[in-house]
């Protein structure tokens, strides 16, 4: 490299925090392929608590999206209701935190990075 020449590096993907509130409700609903009203219902039930802007607009983080995807997997694939999904995610987290594996039917769920 020539003397005095600096190179620019693209920001690392890791620099984007899982908790950074970046997705609007319309973008989040698009990612999750669900209606925005469904996300509002999940918020009302306390399944996910998006951050709010100064103008009171919802902003979902990547961690919120991952949690909602896990909830969708439980409800759509495994036929669990929303209250059951809440408890299953908590139980899976307790198992993983204690070095135990969950049921083989739920191997598709990774709850290590979720707030449950």
Determine the CATH number of domain 18-104. Answer: 1.10.1660.10
Q: Report the alpha-carbon distance of residue 62 to residue 22 in Å, rounded.
A: 8
Residue 60 bridge partners (DSSP): 23
**Please, what is the angle between helix 62-72 and helix 82-97, to 10°?**
110
User: Considering the entire predicted model, what is its pTM?
Assistant: 0.82
Q: Which pLDDT tens digit goes with each residue over 85-96?
A: 999 999 999 999
The per-residue pLDDT for 112 is 86
* pLDDT tens by residue, 59-78: 999 999 999 999 999 999 99
Quote the pLDDT of residue 107: 85
Distance in angstroms (rounded) separating the CA atoms of residues 74 and 86: 9
pLDDT at position 15 is 54
pLDDT per residue over 1-49, tens digit each?
555 555 555 554 545 699 999 999 999 999 999 999 999 999 999 999 9
């Amino acid at each position: 490299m020539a003397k005095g020449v600096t190179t620019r590096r693209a920001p690392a993907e890791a620099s984007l925090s899982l908790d950074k509130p970046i997705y609007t409700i319309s973008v989040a609903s698009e990612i999750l392929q669900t209606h925005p009203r469904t996300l509002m219902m999940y918020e009302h039930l306390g399944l996910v608590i998006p951050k709010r802007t100064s103008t009171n607009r919802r902003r979902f983080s990547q961690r919120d999206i991952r949690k909602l995807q896990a909830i969708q997997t439980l409800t759509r694939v495994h036929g669990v209701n929303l209250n059951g999904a809440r408890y299953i995610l908590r139980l899976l987290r307790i198992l993983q935190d204690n070095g135990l594996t969950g049921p083989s039917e739920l191997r598709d769920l990774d709850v290590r990075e979720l707030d449950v």
